[in-house]
Structure 1
Amino acid sequence: MNHIQLENISKIYNASHAQAKMALALLAEGMDSIAVKEQTGYSVGLYDINLAVKAGELHCIMGLSGSGKSTLIRHINRLIDPTSGKILVNTDINAKNSVNKIVSNSVVTNKDALPIEKGEPSSAINILALNDKELQHYRQQTVSMVFQHFGLVPHMTVIQNVAYGLRVRKMSIKERHEVARHWLNEVGLSNLERSYPDELSGGMQQRVGLARALAMDNPILLMDEAFSALDPLIRAQLQDQLLELQARLNKTIVFITHDIDEAIKVGQRISILNGGRLVQTGTPSDLRHNPTDEYVARFMGAKH
């Protein structure tokens, strides 16, 4: 079952509808993004992306700098809106059981949640059609994000940072901190809850960021170059930890990286972008043995 589906997604930056239409016409004729920029002055973020991410899949998006990786992932939580296309997300895949299990002797409910009627078929919504309140609900209940540069609040302690997003769940401080302690323990930081971000190493800060995202218990986790700022040893440790957590949590994870070794290690499937276009999607074995073009072959170290 698909959890996320991008249909014909294109993004032209800083262009009016007419200007974007002109740029898209040039792209449709086969002109690359660099030539379009030179001719029109408008930057191409993405062009005609069609991509399906399966429920429970760890899906890597990779490409060189400027290929559109970060632009793509930011469409899934609508930090960026496309010029054209649809973004469908199955919000029925939204079971939040772990928070209830973690908080002892209490039942955590979300009064703002949109219940699924019994017997109602699973369905995908076009998140581009959401109004402001619906978008806020979607971000609170469906999708979490781990950033490259941690994004921690410097004046908050570690446990306060991890518990921060749970305030929207109408949980007491005691309950929020109980959930936060659970996830700090899961990422190996149970003894640092009273520390502040600037007292931690980069690897520890990224673990706090991961714990904060997991504490929300949302079914979709977006990770934008989350480990790229770390040294190789710490990076490998966090990759291992992510895989171990994913084996138990079964989240739908979209993982952005420019490192092919990292993509092969963590990704069940990999999508490769080049100049804002999706070149190929497949398993690491698919891409290695059956590359679509020389660009993919170079990435995978394959030979024609």
Structure 2
Amino acid sequence: MNHIQLENISKIYNASTAQAQVALSLLAQGMDSTEVKEQTGYSVGLYDINLAIKAGELHCIMGLSGSGKSTLIRHINRLIDPSCGKIWVDTSLHATNPRRAPATAVAEETQTTAQTGSSAIDILTLNDKALQQYRQHTVSMVFQHFGLVPHMTVIQNVAYGLRVRKMSTKARHEIARHWLNEVGLPNLEHSYPDELSGGMQQRVGLARALATDNPILLMDEAFSALDPLIRAQLQDQLLELQNRLNKTIVFITHDIDEAIKVGQRISILNGGRLVQTGTPQQLRHDPADDYVAQFMHTKS
């Protein structure tokens, strides 16, 4: 079952609807993003992306710098809106084997999750209130540079998403402690972000994303700023957590080794276009073009 589906998604930056259509027409004629930029002055973020991400899948999006990876993932929580297309998300789906937060804490939560039945909705149609509900209850994000609030303690950072839901301090801190323990930081709740190493800060960011128990987790180059040893440890921890939590994870990376290690399927972007989607084995043995083959060349 698909959890997320992008349908004909294109993004032309700093262009009106009419201007975007000019750029899209040139792309449809075969121009690449560089040529469109030279002729029109408009930057191509994405062009005609069609991608389905399965429920419970850890799906890697990769490509070189400027290929559209971060643009794509930011469409899923609508930090960026497309120039055209639709984004379908089944907001009724939850992890099938979630490690729920303590029941006593959950019982105190008064905010309820908006449900739309079993059908996917086009999130581009959501009004401001519905979009806020979607972000609070359906999708969480882990950023490359941690994104922690410096004047908040570790436990306050982890509990922030629950605070926004108006959960009581006792309840949200109970959940935050649970997830700090899960990511291996059980005794640092009163520390501040600048007192932690980069690896520890990213563990706090991961705990914060998991604390809301949202079924979709977006990870934008989440481990790329870390030393190789710490990066490998966090990759292992992510896989162990995913084995228990069964979330739908969209994981952005430019590192093919990382993509092969953590991804069940990999989508490769080039110049804003989706070149190929498949398992690591499919990409290795049947690359769509030389670009994909070059990515997979280091893995035999």
| Residues 182, 44 of structure 1: alpha-carbon distance in 2 compared, 3 angstrom cutoff | same
Asked whether the equivalents of residues 62 and 252 of structure 2 are also in contact (C-alpha less than 8 Å), the reply is: yes
The 2-side partners of 1:92 and 1:174 are apart by: 28
Identity %: 81
Matched, 1:154 2:150: yes
Please point out which of 161, 181, 185 is paired with 1:185: 181
8 A Cα contact 2:97 2:245, kept in partner: no
Q: What CA distance in whole angstroms lies between the structure 2 residues aligned with 1:92 and 1:175?
A: 24
Q: TM-score, normalised by structure 1?
A: 0.95
3-state SS in 2 of match to 1:285:
helix
Separation in 2 of the partners of 1:290 and 1:96? 32
Q: Which residue of 1 aligns with 2:69?
A: 69
Q: CA deviation at 1:114?
A: 2.4
Residues 1:11 and 2:15 are matched in the alignment: no
> Who is 2:297 aligned against?
301
Does residue 43 in structure 1 map to residue 43 in structure 2? yes
> Letter of the aligned partner of 2:281 in structure 1?
S
AA matched with 2:134: Y
Q: CA deviation at 1:302?
A: 7.3
User: Are 1:135 and 2:128 an aligned pair?
Assistant: no
Q: Aligned-pair distance for 1:101? A: 4.6
Q: Which residue of 2 aligns with 1:224?
A: 220
1:34 counterpart SS class: helix
Contact 1:99–1:108, Cα closer than 8 Å, also in 2: no
Q: Determine the C-alpha separation between the residues in 1 that align with 2:167 and 2:33.
A: 48
Q: Give the deviation of 1:100 after TM superposition.
A: 6.0
**Aligned Cα root-mean-square deviation (Å):** 1.7
Kept in 2: contact 1:96–1:217 (CA 8 A): no
Structure 2 length-normalised TM: 0.96
Separation in structure 2 between the aligned mates of residue 149 and residue 68 of structure 1, nearest angstrom: 18
Given that 2:105 and 2:174 are in contact with CA atoms closer than 8 Å, whether structure 1 keeps it comes out as no
CA spacing shift, 1:153–1:55, aligned 2, 3 Å: same
Q: Is the CA contact (8 Å cut-off) linking 1:60 and 1:269 kept in structure 2?
A: yes
Moved over 3 A (4+): 94-101, 108-112
Deviations 1:169-219 (A, max 9, x none): 332111111000000000000011111000000000000000000001000
Unaligned runs of 5+ in 2: none
Contact kept, 8 Å, 2:5 with 2:89, in 1: the verdict is yes
Show the counterpart of 2:191. 195
Unmatched 5+ residue regions in structure 1? none
For residue 201 of structure 1, what is the amino acid of its counterpart?
S
